[in-house]
A and B are shown apart, each in its own frame.
Chain A
Amino acid sequence: MSGGGAGRHIGRILIRAIVTILMVAVLNFILFRVIPGDPAALLLGGARTSVTAEQMEAQRQNWGLDRPLFPDQMVDYLTATLQGDFGYSFKFRGRHVAELILERLPATVVLVGLAQFVAILCGVMLGLYAGWRRGGAIDHIVTGASLALYSTPSFWLGMLLVVTFSTALGWLPGYGAYSPGATIGSLDSLLDHLRHLALPVTAVALGLIGQYVVVARAAMSDVVTEDYMVTARAKGLTNGQMLVRHAFRNAMLPVVTLITLNLGYVVAGAITVEAVFAWPGIGGLTVEALNARDYPVLQGIFLLLGASIVVANLIADLAYGLLDPRVRQ
């Protein structure tokens, strides 16, 4: 329990995270090399165009594809990646992968970040309450609805929302982040953006709420049967005091883990929902890159996804250590 012990704990977690990210990069490299298809041919426009053997060879030499995969190409990939160079997109000729990703990142962070915020607020509160009053009417309703939402694909929810609120009722826009011709930066465009956010945020949040409710409820209903809750009751605490002083923090342990792990997906986006709403984020970029076989972009997105999940894990470990003294040694 000394400061040294806690320091070692943090050090161990950090080293583990770095090693994991390196392994993700290596796997990422291997994954894209075992995909069938010759990158040189793809670069020259695929099988439909006729190219000479010389042109192919020149292309191979140009991109270093004539050298052995291991270790030359892998070392190249890893050193370039470490320097922040993720290569060029096939589809958007001449554009850096990093540039493309950074361009699309804010839209995704806003969409998924807002959805997470709403889902955490509603889901955790509902879940904790349902667990605290387990067996009650509210518990049955909340748990039933959550399980239904949890098992519903969020893109389908998104489609329902579009059909209802956009197509049929015409209340909210069903695609894109802005109306065409909007001057970005004005107050009007901000309101316009919020209107565009409403449906996709709802779709992503509804999917997440179920998850938070289920975990928070399970955690809370475990806590209420713990012996220390009997002690708290014996001490003459009111129900509110028992909830706030004794149950809440213990029930939040697994919930905090889930929240931080989900933070990793804020960056990666909600691919299917973004596709449904034509949202100009990372998810949309992934779908475009997949359709165009834009391997460098996919490789960059995969690495980003892997790294952000590892970092989220890291934060989860550290947060858990702060909340639970038992894991701090």
Chain B
Amino acid sequence: MTNSSQDKAPLLDVNCLSVDYGLKGVSLRAIDRVSFALQAGEAVGLVGESGSGKTTTAMAIAGLLSPNARVSSGEVRYRGSRLPIDDDAAMRPHRWCETSVVFQGAMNALNPVHRIIKQIAEPCMLKLGMSRGEATARARELLGLVGIPTDRGSAYPHELSGGMRQRVMIAMALACRPSIVIGDEPTTALDVITQAQILKLLGELRSRLSLALILITHDLSVVAECCDRVMIMYAGRIVEDGTVAEIFAQPKHPYTRLLIESIPNPASGKKMIRPIPGDPPNLVNRPSGCAFHPRCPSAMGVCGTEVPSLDQFGRGRVACHLHRSSRGDKVAVHA
């Protein structure tokens, strides 16, 4: 990944980013030295369970960290220049124009008292300086783009179905022609058929507008459907990073393997889903060494004492002692 991208600067470069939350005097590390690069037009899935840091990572990139969050190390670079992600006011001009977010529109992400056309037109007026007329025309165009009849623009959010609201959310995210769209669980709370339609729409728009897509989800099957690459997060760290094809065929990290095995697959003939044993990690009293070691079926002595670094492994990256010892040969095999 890094090798192939050295010739051109990545669209987005997250470098050793750590974010802490202050909670009543206790400082809690939500993400720990997260590093990755995103190329223009690339679709990356960010997968992990609740509290794994996937949302904090995405919100940091979008400059939407909450006031009690503190960037304790690292930086985010967009087209080579550093983003002021810890400065709310300085971040404002970057928002929506460079990175926009598709929230769970099916829930409450749209303002209930404004017509949807107004909500889509709003960033065009405020961020792009369009007149009301221009902005409304642009909003109509965007509604067409996401497959909503333009005469529905005068509807209020509560008059639309969950799928339609999600389309409105996507139209809104595209308003200022951003180069990165973050989908924050964009299909959660939608039925399976609508979910498939929304994912298809996101995929189409991505190739049509050459968008980079960061998809936050806890659902690996969503990633399989519309991402090129996937990053698995656990307890605030990236534990594995690779192409979708590689990760599904040959997961390196035991956590990734268990995640894939826990997907119900009727075709395989397995009757039972296999849940991952143990509980999600406590971020206040983080386990020593590799945070996954108390639940890991392949844990060794070193796993409880030494934090594995996220190292290049084949064409991807993995943070696991299992692959560390034998890295030399494996790389040779893959290369």
Contacts and interface: CB of A to CB of B under 8 A. Distances in A.
Q: Do A and B bind each other?
A: yes
B109 A227 contact: yes
Contact of A231 (B93, B110, B159): B110
A227 B113 contact: no
A18 to B, nearest CB: 30
A226 B104 CA distance: 12
B62 interface: yes
B174 interface: no
A179 to B, nearest CB: 50
B77 interface: no
A325 B113 contact: yes
Contacts of B108: 226-228
B100 interface: yes
Contacts of B100: 234-235
Q: Which of B62, B97, B112, B156 has the most chain A CB atoms inside 10 A of its CB? A: B112
Contacts of A230: 64, 103, 109
A246 B126 contact: no
Contacts of A227: 103-104, 107-109
Nearest to A252: B113
B190 to A, nearest CB: 16
A1 B159 contact: yes
Given A233-B64, A235-B127, A228 B96 contact: no
Contacts of B111: 228, 231-232, 246, 250
Interface residues of B, number: 28
Contacts of B103: 227, 230-231, 234
B323 interface: no
Nearest to B122: A235
B97 A236 contact: yes
26 contacts: A1-B155, A227-B103, A227-B108, A227-B109, A228-B110, A230-B103, A230-B109, A231-B172, A232-B111, A234-B64, A234-B103, A235-B95, A235-B100, A235-B126, A235-B127, A235-B172, A236-B94, A236-B95, A237-B92, A241-B126, A245-B122, A250-B113, A324-B112, A324-B113, A325-B112, A326-B112
Interface of A: 1, 226-228, 230-238, 241, 245-246, 249-250, 323-326
